[in-house]
Amino acid sequence: MDSPAWQHFCCLNTLLWSSSSKNNRKENKLETITPYPVFQIGNIVITNTVVNTWIGMMLLIIVIVIIKIFNPEMIDEIVEMITGLISDLINVKNPIEYVPFLGSLLIFIFLANNLSFFPGLGSPSQDINTPISLALLVFFSVHYFGIKEKGMLRYLKDTANPIIVFPFEIISQISRTVSLTLRLFGNVISTELVVAIISQLVPVGVPIIMIALSLLTGTLQAYIFTALTGTYISTAVQQKES
């Protein structure tokens, strides 16, 4: 018959093993939503986010080439659809000028948000560095388009007219950049976590609905990000009355 001390030892060992197993599962789960290094080129560390982005871009190119070979008319229809969508998002005299930038932004964010549907891949938008990079790209692009349309002096005059609002304009520029970052990152990461949790709790049936919800959220966030960018560009290039 086992002694009480041996029984206590076995019980403690079981608890420790169970705790370690749970921690390992948590670490594996966190590993899928946090960036980690894959390989290194010199002093440059390449994370899984960069690798997933490269793979996503290659998949997009492959799909475009296949469509171009077997159904060239579809490419024209897609371009026409994106052009019409962008034209509705931006209130300027010549919206076609901004279609390449806004269209590329829309396609990239849509792909980045939904790349996790492919087995073994993760969404680059889950890494905070991706939304930050996109928001900074929008920040500098808005000023670029504004200066290109008006010229440096006129653009600065419109931005700081009257001069008392200039500090508030700076705060507004910074806050909307932060807002773009957190909106994209927060919505994508929260949706991915909810889908992962529901899939663990109810592995049959319900995950399909949650995956559809995740796809809808990723698509909607790509549209919202692009629409806000179009609004910022419209504001930057519009001429103010003297």
Say if CB 107 and CB 60 are below 8 A apart. Answer: yes
Rounded to the nearest angstrom, the gap between the alpha carbon of residue 82 and the centroid of all alpha carbons in its chain is 19
Identity of the amino acid at 181 = T
Taking Cα atoms as reference points, which of 106, 109, 103 lies closest to residue 126? 109
Residue 48: count of CB within 10 angstroms of its CB: 19
- What's residue 18's pLDDT? 42
Reading the chain (242 residues) residue by residue, the pLDDT tens digits are 455 444 444 444 444 444 343 344 444 444 455 777 878 888 888 888 888 899 989 999 998 899 889 888 888 888 889 888 888 888 888 888 899 999 999 999 999 888 887 877 888 888 888 999 999 999 999 999 999 988 888 888 877 777 787 888 889 889 999 999 999 998 888 887 877 777 777 766 666 777 788 888 889 999 999 999 999 998 888 866 44
Radius of gyration of the chain (CA): 24
Distance, CA of 11 to CA of 43 (rounded, Å): 48
Task: Quote the Cα angle for 128-129-134, to 5°.
Answer: 105
- Alpha-carbon distance 162 to 172, whole Å? 15
AA identity, residue 131: P
Yes or no: say if 106 and 160 are a contact pair by the CB < 8 Å rule: no
Residue from 175, 184, 169 nearest 236 by CA: 169
Q: Show me where the domains of the chain are located.
A: 72-237
- 105/130 Cα distance (integer angstroms): 12
pLDDT value at residue 131: 93
- pLDDT at residue number 46: 87
Handedness of CA 143, 147, 153, 155 (dihedral sign): negative
Q: What local confidence, expressed as pLDDT, does residue 22 receive?
A: 39
Cα separation, 233 vs 222, in Å, equals 17
* 4 three-state secondary structure: helix
Going by the DSSP 8-state scheme, the letter that residue 123 receives in this structure is -
Residues 6+ apart with CB under 8 A from 121: 52, 55, 56, 115
pLDDT of residue 105: 93
Upper half-sphere CA count for residue 40 (Cβ side, 13 Å): 6
Q: Would you state the pLDDT for residue 207? A: 65
What pTM was computed for the model? 0.78
